Amino acid sequence: MIILDGKKTANDIKEEIALEVTSIVSSGGKVPHLSAILVGTDGASETYVNAKVKACEKVGFKSTLIRLSEDVSQEDLLAEVEKINKNSDIDGLIVQLPLPSHVDEMKVTEAIDPEKDVDGFHPSNIGRMVLNLPTYLPATPAGILELLKRYNVETSGKHCVVIGRSHIVGSPMSILMGRNTNPGNCTVTLTHSRTKNLQEITKTADILIVALGRVEFITSDMLKDGVCIIDVGITRVKSDKTKSGWKLLGDVDFENVKHMCSFITPVPGGVGPMTIAMLLKNTLLSSKK
């Protein structure tokens, strides 16, 4: 069993990006600049945004964090997005999701200039992804592809089962794994909350990508020997064993399934750090344009 070490791989990618930024800047080029909008004070969102800002500093990017109150109107939020769209110094914009229920997330996503949409959520970038055209791939799926690539996981001709059909992970992941690319060329089954006989399907998976957000949902009786597991799930649960009082758990019962796996991602330290690394990669790409 090989651990797909997202933390180490993400650090390698960040070092590569930092070197590139140094060389761009020393030849008089522009410092890449990522802007993030955070609405409200949700603990998990704060953690994610702070990690992104910290990662920008680490690779030599500029970053701007715009905090808006929980009750900000949709109009004011859209105005903020428009301001950033027009700011030529800013290369990438992310709006941390989820947004409060009075805001239409899709409207906000659609308002972001596709050229600055480094999260890769804009409908036109999703369309380009489906057509295999150059674009910003959604950061989490892109991070998974990068992990599979860097660990030389064979995907061609394999049966890839994806659990979860969210716009940001499951759906794009199912499309990417079926494209005629490497990684890719899988036969893909996309499963979701209405899927019947999930266990029968997961038992035939060569590659299992799990993104549903239920702690330790995948158990050993759902797997075949030699499976490669990508655990996207991150759930914060209270813990009296950590300094913060929280710990992160994945969707896979890691300790009890790892002996069956060819490859497996840990939580934390798997997909999470890769997501941030790919966000930086997309921002660098935008800046170079």
Question: Catalytic residue positions?
Answer: 52, 96, 119
Q: Is there binding between residue 233 and ligand NAD (CB under 6 A)? A: yes
Strand order in the sheet with 62-68: 62-68, 33-39, 92-95
Closer to ligand NAD by CB, 80 or 122: give it. 122
Nearer to ligand NAD, 80 or 140 (CB): 140
Report if residue 192 touches ligand NAD, rule: CB under 6 A. Answer: yes
Q: CA dist 152 to 86, 139, 146, 274, 284, Å?
A: 41, 20, 10, 16, 25
Q: If you count them, how many residues does the chain have?
A: 289
CA separation for the pair 141, 137 (Å, rounded): 7
| Burial tier of 90 (Cβ tally within 10 Å: 0-12, 13-18, 19+) | buried
Shortest CB 243 distance to ligand NAD, Å: 21
Choice between 62 and 192, CB closer to ligand NAD: 192
Question: Is residue 218 within the footprint of ligand NAD (CB under 6 A)?
Answer: no
Nearer to ligand NAD, 80 or 266 (CB): 266
Closest by CA to 286, choosing from 30, 65, 52, is: 30
Which listed residue (21, 59, 103, 169) binds ligand NAD by CB under 6 A? 169
Q: How far is the CB of 135 from ligand NAD (least distance, A)?
A: 19
120 is an interface residue for ligand NAD by CB under 6 A: no
Angle, CA 122 vertex, CA 49 and CA 111 arms, to 5°: 85
Nearest to 218 by CA among 252, 261, 193: 252
Give the 3-state DSSP-derived string for 7-34, with helices as H, strands as E and coil as C: HHHHHHHHHHHHHHHHHHHHCCCCCCEE
Cβ distance 266 to 9 under 8 Å?
no
9 contacts ligand NAD (rule: CB under 6 A): no
Under the binding rule (CB under 6 A), the answer on residue 211 touching ligand NAD is yes
Instruction: Spell out, one character per residue from 264 to 283, where the chain touches ligand NAD: x when CB under 6 A holds, - when not.
Output: -------xx--x--------
Taking CB under 6 A as the criterion, the residue among 4, 99, 168, 227 binding ligand NAD is: 168
Select from 22-30, 148-156, 160-168, 240-248 the region that touches ligand NAD (CB under 6 A): 160-168
Q: Does 142 help bind ligand NAD (rule: CB under 6 A)?
A: no
Residue ranges that bind ligand NAD, judged by CB under 6 A:
140, 163-166, 168-170, 191-193, 195, 198, 211-213, 232-235, 271-272, 275
